[in-house]
């Protein structure tokens, strides 16, 4: 019985995988039917708007369930090469799927870019672990998440910075535990913690500088 109650047990993983598979099939059917109807001429404005609403809702649900499926396989995936800027652009909408709408997310511009090698789904899982730790219970109304980028020497950095989180949350040891599982190994991990504020800089070895980064070095 304890195994059944453990959220990390094989039983719960099986249940989640089946739920994701079945839900995705049904949402996919709704999406296909609504798009098929919208591809034809519809003179009834109310019907057309309703179909758009159904299609958009099904699309959002599909994106959500696909992200859950990716998270379930996070530690089994292989690292891939990607630009830092593309990594952040991929992470932002997926993080938004799991956050209350009142929580703000900022992505300040970065003057440099680089190609790194990373398991993006594993990184997403770890960032969600940080958010859950800082937002446990009732999410603070003033919570702000910022994802910044920087390239420094042979490392490309993704910087998680949150303000307004629960002041009593003990973060440093938790962060070290979470990111120690990253494969390939990180080139650096810098954690700065203050009351209600957390910054975690995650460093990845640079595979190659992007053209934008090279032009900025000249």
Q: Where are the alpha helices (DSSP H) in 73-183?
A: 84-97, 120-135, 172-179
Domain-ending residue, one of 53, 72, 91: 72
In a shared domain, residues 18 and 110 = no
In a shared domain, residues 66 and 87 = no
Q: Which residue has the tokens 């920087």?
A: 150
**Mean pLDDT across the stretch 181-203?**
90
Each residue's pLDDT tens digit, 126-135: 999 888 887 7
Each residue's pLDDT tens digit, 43-91: 999 999 999 999 999 999 999 898 988 888 887 778 999 999 999 999 9
- What pLDDT, on the 0 to 100 scale, is given for residue 1? 38
Q: pLDDT category, 101, cuts 50, 70, 90?
A: confident
CB neighbour list of residue 186: distance below 8 Å, 6 or more residues apart: 179, 202, 203, 204
* Domain assignment of residue 23, given as a range: 2-72
Q: Is the predicted pLDDT of residue 115 greater than 90, yes or no?
A: yes
In a shared domain, residues 167 and 98 = yes
Rounded Cα–Cα distance for residues 145 and 125 (Å): 16
In a shared domain, residues 192 and 127 = yes
Q: pLDDT category, 169, cuts 50, 70, 90?
A: low
CATH number, position 167: 3.30.565.10
- Give the residue with greater pLDDT, 117 vs 164: 117
In a shared domain, residues 110 and 209 = yes
In a shared domain, residues 130 and 211 = yes
In a shared domain, residues 56 and 142 = no
- What pLDDT, on the 0 to 100 scale, is given for residue 191? 93
In a shared domain, residues 84 and 167 = yes
- What pLDDT, on the 0 to 100 scale, is given for residue 88? 97
In a shared domain, residues 28 and 112 = no
Q: Is the predicted pLDDT of residue 210 greater than 70, yes or no?
A: no
CB neighbour list of residue 68: distance below 8 Å, 6 or more residues apart: 16, 20
Q: Where are the alpha helices (DSSP H) in 10-119?
A: 10-38, 45-72, 84-97
Rounded Cα–Cα distance for residues 83 and 144 (Å): 25
In a shared domain, residues 90 and 185 = yes
Q: pLDDT category, 164, cuts 50, 70, 90?
A: confident
Rounded Cα–Cα distance for residues 56 and 78 (Å): 31
The chain-wide mean pLDDT, for the chain, equals 85
In a shared domain, residues 54 and 11 = yes
Give the CA angle between residues 128, 115, 174 to the nearest 5°.
25
In a shared domain, residues 108 and 209 = yes
**Phi and psi, residue 194, nearest 5°:** -135, 165
Domain total for the chain? Answer: 2
Strand partners, 172: none
Domain-ending residue, one of 72, 103, 124: 72
């Amino acid at each position: 019985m304890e195994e059944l109650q453990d959220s990390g047990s094989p039983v719960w993983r099986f249940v989640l995988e089946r739920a994701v598979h079945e839900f995705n099939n049904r949402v996919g059917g709704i999406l296909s039917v609504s798009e098929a109807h919208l591809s034809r001429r519809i003179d009834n404005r109310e019907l057309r708007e309703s179909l758009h609403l159904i299609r958009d809702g099904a699309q959002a649900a599909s994106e959500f369930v696909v992200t859950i499926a990716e998270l379930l396989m996070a530690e089994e995936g292989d690292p891939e090469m990607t630009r830092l800027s593309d990594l952040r652009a991929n992470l932002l909408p997926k993080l938004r799927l799991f956050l209350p709408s009142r929580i703000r997310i900022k992505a300040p511009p970065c003057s440099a870019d680089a190609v790194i090698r990373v398991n993006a789904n594993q990184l997403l899982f770890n960032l969600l672990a940080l958010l859950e730790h800082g937002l446990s219970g009732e999410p603070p109304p003033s919570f702000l998440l910022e994802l910044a980028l920087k390239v420094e020497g042979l490392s490309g950095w993704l910087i998680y910075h949150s303000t307004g989180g629960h002041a009593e949350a003990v973060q440093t040891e938790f962060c070290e535990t979470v990111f120690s599982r990253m494969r390939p190994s990180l080139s650096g991990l810098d954690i700065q913690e203050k009351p209600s504020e957390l910054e975690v800089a995650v460093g990845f070895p640079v595979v190659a500088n992007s053209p934008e980064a090279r032009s900025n070095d000249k």
